């Protein structure tokens, strides 16, 4: 890069100022590093495609699978590729109620993404607040908060979410809440870890000496510097939230089939696993697997790029 | 050291109490178990009697006190569905779960650790990349879906193994277990593989990370300079050094494997405690839920406590510096 040339060699008497990285430059550098892994780029393309399919479901799906008036019992259990009463090909077959599986998967994907992204975002915000509070105030507040977080992290998220969903009941909002409670601790611990390192640095000391309100120091000065590790945790946690929701729905405590996610579709298909109607459960499962693995692959590459030890 | 142990012990007790209140209140908030138990055609009188019999007419705090008093006498209540003592119910299901967890952990260790060591020894070989790709899959693909694929492949398509349930029990050393019969093994092998995959991914990553780091240390370089063959370096020097973190995590993960068994047991209809808790959630069997959850809390508190004590023993900074 050009900055290497300016900082070495001729200008010994008056060293050039370190180039200030603007936000746009940082983004550009990030992207050129990210691009180094072809697998990660492919995974990113897959995610974008899935997002488009999910949120464009009403436009791309051949059928609105939850409009009961459009379903016909005559179409039940059509094999993939058969033509139903609607006159079009059911590429992935139909389920026990005559729902087009491809459409159901697009709509289910939408539910899964909605839940995963909102749970991830909420958990991120709450986790950051808890982590920053603990790191900034220190003392008793810190030890109490971190003790709770540690205890929570020692329990498997699946168990916590399971109990919460059982208590809160079924529905999208309830699931999101349960996932947030089960996952915020990961963000809190990461934030706390990074913020404890930053808090000892001079710029925080300087900011605290000014009459700026505490929240401003926390969110405008401390937060931007603890973001990189949080981005990694956020990608992984969105994938985990999607997988967790699917698991809960599969166990029968998540979303009902009237409001289906990929998990409830698989759960419904599982009932017919012994009757050679594999397409009811296999296809939603393949979409679920591709989604989760793609997000994890992208997260893995983001981790590599943001790692301070990663050589530019 | 004694002061540290006592303070941690007190903390653990406080946590168990706090969690028992949270669990009790939380579980109490779920639906009305009477509606599930009773025939809708029953008279109001029968209904009233039943509510009184289970103490559901009492205020919540009094129910909690009664519950604590009963627990102190070793009585965790009766299941509303099975109408037997909850303790008996949980302990009758426990052997099945332990059996499954034992086989799963054995599979994860026997395959995961050598695979991880190899991947760390030759990080750039094709086989190592394949091993790492598999570990990512084991990590990220939901357990229930892999379980379903296993059933489809080995039970439905190939017909080699049964798709669910626990097989015949036999006796080894006076312990009744399905691991004593061939039929039992044919039932346990699929769910155990399913349950082991996540742990296997973890073991592979741990072993690989330790191996990569250890191979760059001075003692390995010295051993190489001495002319020792790699086989001897790995088996008599490196393994000993990387085994400590692996054993620690292994212990910690025992507890979470028990918890993860919930999913596998449901997929394979395995009659263990995991299946019991799912059924009791679906049937609103409050006493079973409360007991299971409190047992899990106690289990994790004990694990945490033990880890704290062991670390404090190994690292004096932990016990002298408080939580900082």
Describe the crossing of helices A279-306 and A101-137 by its angle, rounded to 10 degrees: 30
Q: How many residues does chain B have?
A: 324
Q: Collect all residues of chain B within an 8 Å Cβ-Cβ radius of residue A163.
A: 23, 26, 289, 293
Mean pLDDT of B103-129: 85
Q: Is pLDDT at B130 greater than 60 in this prediction? A: yes
Q: Does A223 touch chain B (CB under 8 A)?
A: no
Q: What's the average pLDDT block by block, 10 residues per block, for chain A (312 residues)? A: 45 56 76 82 88 80 71 68 69 72 85 90 92 84 84 78 78 87 88 84 83 83 82 87 88 76 82 75 87 88 75 50
pLDDT at B182 over 80: no
- Whether A156 and B260 lie within 8 Å, measured CB to CB: yes
Residues B52-64, mean pLDDT to the nearest whole number: 74
**Which of B11, B129, B140 best probes binding to A when mutated, by most A CB atoms within 10 angstroms?**
B140
* Euclidean distance between CA atoms A216 and A79, whole angstroms: 60
The angle formed by the CA atoms of residues A162, B254 and A130, to the nearest 5 degrees, is: 55
Residue B300 in contact with partner chain A when CB distance is under 8 A: yes
Give the integer Cα–Cα distance in Å for B60 and B58: 6
Query: Residue B89's pLDDT band (boundaries 50, 70, 90)?
Result: confident
pLDDT tens digits along B219-252: 888 888 888 887 878 777 777 777 777 777 776 7
Rounded mean pLDDT, B199-208 = 86
Average pLDDT, chain B: 78
Q: Are A253 and A168 in contact (CB under 8 A)?
A: no
Closest by alpha carbon to A285, among B136, B142, B271? B142
- Nearest CA distance, A274 vs chain B (angstrom): 6
Residue B214 has a pLDDT of: 79
CB-CB neighbors (< 8 A) of A159 in chain B: 259, 262, 296
* Residue B105 sits at the chain A interface (C-beta within 8 Å): no
- Range A307-310, long-range pairs (CB < 8 A, 24+ positions): A310/A33
Indicate left, alpha or beta for B272 from its phi (over 0: left) and psi (-120 to 50: alpha).
beta
The Cα A194–Cα A226 span in angstroms is: 6
Read off φ and ψ for residue B78, nearest 5 degrees.
Answer: -115, 145
Nearest chain A residue to B262 by CA distance is A159
* A300/B144 Cβ within 8 A: no
Chain A contact present for B151, CB below 8 A: yes
Q: Are B185 and B103 in contact (CB under 8 A)?
A: no
Task: Kindly state the average pLDDT of the residues B159-176.
Answer: 69
Token readout for A198 is 């930053």
Residue B52 pLDDT more than 60?
yes
- CB A133, CB A141: distance < 8 Å: yes
Here the tokens at position A5 are: 């040339």
Q: Quote the pLDDT of residue A117.
A: 92
Looking at chain B, which residue has its C-alpha nearest residue A285?
A: B145
pTM (predicted TM-score): 0.80
Q: Where are the alpha helices (DSSP H) in chain B?
A: 2-28, 33-37, 44-53, 60-72, 86-121, 126-140, 143-150, 182-215, 218-225, 230-232, 239-267, 273-282, 286-314, 316-320
* DSSP 8-class letter at A89: E
Q: Name the residue among A159, A164, A239 with its Cβ closest to that of B296.
A: A159
| Residues linked to residue B176 through DSSP beta bridges, in sequence order | B171
| Interchain CB distance below 8 Å, A155 and B300 | yes
Q: What is the pLDDT of residue A161?
A: 84
Residue A158 and residue B29: Cβ atoms within 8 Å?
A: no
Task: Report the top-level CATH class of A50-71+91-306.
Answer: mainly alpha
B158 at the A interface (CB within 8 A)?
Answer: no
Give the integer Cα–Cα distance in Å for B292 and B27: 12
**Is A262 at the interface with chain B, CB within 8 A?**
no
Of the listed ranges A15-29, A126-140, B81-95, B104-118, the least confidently predicted one is: A15-29
Query: Using CA atoms, how far apart are residues B11 and A143, in angstroms rounded to an integer?
Result: 12
According to DSSP, residue B234 is labeled I
Whether residue B22 contacts residue A148, with contact meaning beta carbons closer than 8 Å, is answered with no
> So what's the pLDDT on residue A8?
47
**B220 in Cβ contact with B214 (< 8 Å):** yes
Q: Per the CB < 8 Å rule, is A147 touching B304?
A: no
Of the candidates A239, A250, A253, the beta carbon closest to that of B281 is on: A253
Handedness of CA B153, A157, A182, B64 (dihedral sign): positive
| Residue whose C-alpha is closest to residue A268's, from A61, A105, A54, A67 | A105
User: B100: which residues sit within 8 A by CB, 6+ positions away?
Assistant: B188, B191, B192, B195, B261, B264, B265, B270, B272
What's the pLDDT band for B29 if we cut at 50, 70, 90?
Answer: low
Identify the helix (H) or strand (E) that includes residue A244.
helix A223-251
Q: Residue A51: which H helix or E strand, with range? A: helix A38-55
The whole-angstrom separation of Cα A235 and Cα A45 is 15
Q: Give dist(CA B96, CA B239) in Å, integer.
A: 33
Q: Tokens at residue B23, please?
A: 């669990």
With an 8 Å Cβ cutoff, is B103 touching chain A? no
Note whether B311 contacts A: Cβ–Cβ < 8 A. no
For the ranges A16-25, A63-72, B20-29, B37-46, the one whose mean pLDDT is highest: B20-29
Given CB atoms, is A166 within the 8 Å cutoff of chain B?
A: yes
Contact B233, B121 (CB under 8 A): no
Strand partners, B171: B176
Residue B170 structure tokens: 């036999």
CB A132 within 8 A of CB A191: yes
Give the pLDDT of residue A5: 45
Residue of A nearest to B305 (CA): A151
The answer to whether the CB of B289 falls within 8 A of the CB of B281 is yes
ipTM of the modeled complex? 0.75
Q: Is it the case that residue B148 has pLDDT exceeding 50?
A: yes
Percent of chain B whose predicted confidence (pLDDT) is above 90: 0
Q: Nearest CA to CA, how far is A210 from chain B (Å)?
A: 27
Distance from CA of B173 to the nearest CA of A (A): 34
Q: Which residues pair with residue B249 across a beta bridge? A: none
How near does any CA of chain A get to the CA of B25, in Å? Answer: 10
| Beta carbon pairs, A and B, within 8 Å | 107
**Distances in whole angstroms, Cα of residue B319 to Cα of each of A154, A254, B315:** 20, 43, 8
The DSSP call for residue B161 is S
Q: Give the closest residue to B259 by CA, choosing from B147, B131, B104, B120.
A: B104
């Amino acid at each position: 890069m050009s900055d290497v040339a300016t900082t070495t060699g001729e200008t010994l008497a008056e060293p050039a100022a370190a180039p200030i990285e603007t936000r746009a430059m940082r983004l550009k550098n990030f992207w050129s590093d990210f691009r180094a892994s072809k697998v990660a780029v492919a995974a990113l393309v897959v995610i974008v495609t899935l997002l488009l399919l999910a949120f464009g479901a009403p436009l791309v799906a051949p059928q609105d699978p939850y409009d009961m008036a459009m379903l016909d019992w005559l179409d039940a259990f059509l094999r993939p590729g058969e033509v139903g009463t609607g006159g079009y090909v059911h590429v992935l077959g139909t389920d026990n109620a005559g729902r087009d599986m491809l459409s159901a998967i697009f709509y289910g994907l939408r539910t899964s993404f909605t839940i995963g992204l909102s749970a991830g975002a909420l958990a991120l915000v709450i986790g950051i607040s808890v982590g920053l509070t603990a790191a900034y105030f220190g003392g008793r507040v810190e030890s109490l908060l971190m003790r709770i977080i540690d205890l929570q992290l020692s329990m498997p998220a699946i168990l916590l979410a399971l109990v919460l969903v059982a208590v809160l009941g079924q529905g999208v909002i309830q699931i999101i809440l349960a996932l947030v409670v089960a996952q915020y601790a990961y963000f809190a611990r990461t934030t706390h870890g990074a913020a404890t390192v930053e808090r000892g640095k001079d710029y925080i000391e300087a900011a605290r000496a000014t009459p700026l309100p505490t929240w401003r120091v926390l969110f405008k000065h401390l937060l931007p510097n603890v973001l990189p590790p949080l981005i990694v945790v956020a990608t992984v946690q969105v994938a985990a939230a999607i997988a967790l929701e699917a698991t809960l729905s599969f166990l029968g405590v998540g979303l009902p089939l009237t409001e289906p996610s990929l998990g409830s579709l698989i759960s419904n298909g599982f009932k017919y696993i012994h009757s050679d109607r594999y397409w009811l459960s296999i296809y939603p499962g393949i979409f679920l697997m591709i989604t989760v693995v793609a997000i994890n692959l992208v997260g893995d590459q983001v981790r590599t790029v943001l790692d301070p030890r990663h050589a530019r | 050291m004694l002061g540290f142990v006592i303070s941690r012990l007190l903390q653990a007790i406080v946590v168990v109490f706090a969690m028992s209140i949270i669990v009790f209140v939380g579980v109490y908030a779920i639906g009305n178990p009477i509606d599930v138990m009773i025939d809708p055609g029953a008279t109001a009188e029968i209904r009233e009697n039943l509510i009184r019999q289970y103490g559901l007419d009492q205020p919540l705090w009094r129910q909690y006190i009664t519950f604590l008093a009963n627990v102190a006498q070793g009585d965790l209540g009766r299941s509303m569905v099975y109408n037997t003592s909850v303790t008996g119910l949980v302990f009758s299901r426990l052997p099945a779960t332990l059996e499954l967890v034992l086989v799963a952990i054995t599979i994860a260790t026997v395959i995961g650790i050598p695979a991880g060591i190899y991947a760390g020894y030759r990080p750039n070989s094709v086989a190592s990349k394949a091993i790492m790709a598999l570990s990512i899959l084991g990590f990220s693909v939901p357990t229930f879906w892999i379980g379903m694929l296993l059933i489809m492949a080995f039970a439905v398509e190939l017909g080699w193994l049964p798709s669910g349930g626990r097989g015949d029990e036999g006796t080894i050393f006076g312990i009744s277990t399905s691991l004593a019969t061939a039929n039992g093994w044919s039932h346990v092998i699929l769910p155990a593989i399913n349950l082991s995959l996540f742990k296997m991914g973890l073991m592979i990553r741990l072993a690989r990370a330790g191996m990569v780091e250890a191979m760059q240390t001075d003692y390995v370089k010295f051993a190489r300079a001495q002319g020792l063959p790699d086989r001897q370096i790995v088996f008599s020097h490196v393994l000993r050094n990387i085994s400590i973190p692996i054993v620690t995590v292994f212990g910690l993960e025992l507890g979470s494997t028990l918890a993860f068994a919930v999913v596998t047991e449901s997929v394979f209809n395995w009659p263990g405690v995991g299946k019991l808790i799912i059924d009791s959630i679906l049937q609103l069997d409050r006493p079973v839920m409360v007991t299971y959850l409190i047992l899990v809390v106690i289990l994790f508190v004990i694990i945490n406590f033990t880890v704290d004590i062991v670390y404090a023993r190994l690292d004096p900074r932990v016990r002298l510096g408080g939580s900082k």
